[in-house]
Amino acid sequence: MQDKYSKYFDESWKKIIEKFFPYLIDFFLPEMYIDIDFSKGVSFLDKEMKQLSKVSQKGAKHVDKLVKVYLKSGGEQWILVHIEVQSYKDKDFSKRMFRYFYRIFDRHDKEIVSMALLTNSKGGVSKGNYKLKAYGSGVEFEYLSFGLMGYDRKKLEEDDNPIAIVILTSQEKELAKRKGKRFDTKLYLAKHLYIKNYSSDEISAIIEFMDWSLPLDDPLDDLFWEQLREIEGVKKMPYITSVERKAIKRGLEQGIQQGIQQGIQQGIQQGSLKKSIEMVLEALDERFGKIPSNIIDSIKLIKDEDKLRVILRRIINTNSLEEFSNWINSGEK
């Protein structure tokens, strides 16, 4: 079941993977990057991945991309890129990676490079494994694991690879939510973009990812774009036009809203009020960060799906946590 903003989470990361795939391989697997003949193109096997994937487990927010590339030696190489948001330790994660691997191999009989990008993990670069053995018989599966929170910030800032600033943004999404400094963080990252020699399309794509990762309330959002226009004026790089900015913002808002609404509707269809409440609480967490316990307790007491829909609309349209708190405490639902 997809929860809260997971649909838009999927779309945001899928866009990054598709836009910057050669850069992604160069960053995480430079030895493979050397072997790939990118002049022959890259194929994203979304249909195959959809057929092989099962509905995600409760609490898991992830995106999977199966990619086919051609090697300079003349052969094919299939790559499974799995991006996972984990708010808790998932004991079945390695098992899921193994299941993806054997399903792809069983259906297509292809060699597979399995890599997991863990956005909340501090582990850095490591190898994950899954063992299934009994009485000397069985298998041991290994995959590449990259904990994005473990990468050194200074080195990321110095790296010209666009994936480096995507990772920085992913790191800051977690840190800013804890510290409540989204505006300063987002502006700092945006300024950093213009230091690099990125193309207009690349800057637009990363700004869109930043808008999903570090959303701002309207007054601060307007100030952010004013600051960005000043930077573009000084740099003589008018990459993000006002029309593009509106399109990005509209896409962000619609994507988050549709993703949350879809998740609540799925919970209702499955007859689970508890799951619908969990989705509303996660929407609050994503929109405003840490939520006071009295608001959480109030929402947990709701027994009516229609009230949850009203609260959902309020979450999306309210400018601040204080405003939302005043509204829900007033009982005007």
Helix (H, G, I), strand (E, B) or coil at 91: coil
Which residue type, as a one-letter code, is found at position 209? F
* Residue 107 pLDDT: 82
Please check whether residue 40 is in contact with residue 56, taking contact to mean a CB–CB distance below 8 angstroms. no
Task: Return d(Cα 259, Cα 277) in angstroms, integer.
Answer: 15
| Closest alpha carbon to 123 in 159, 84, 154 | 84
Question: Does residue 308 sit in helix, strand or coil?
Answer: helix
Q: For residue 1, is pLDDT > 50?
A: no
Q: What is the pLDDT of residue 40?
A: 87
- The C-alpha torsion from 254 through 258 and 264 to 267, rounded to 10°, is -160
| pLDDT of 332 above 80 | no
> How far is residue 233's CA from residue 227's CA, in Å, rounded to a whole number?
10
Q: Read off the pLDDT of residues 224-251 as tens digits, 9 standing for 90 and up.
A: 888 877 777 766 655 554 435 545 555 5
In this structure, are residues 213 and 172 in contact, taking their beta carbons and an 8 Å threshold? yes
pTM: 0.68
pLDDT tens string 266-320: 555 555 677 778 777 877 776 676 678 888 888 888 877 778 778 877 776 676 7
Mean pLDDT in residue range 89-100: 82
The β-bridge partners of 132 are: 139
Return the percentage of the chain with pLDDT > 70, whole number. Answer: 74
pLDDT: which is higher, 55 or 282: 282
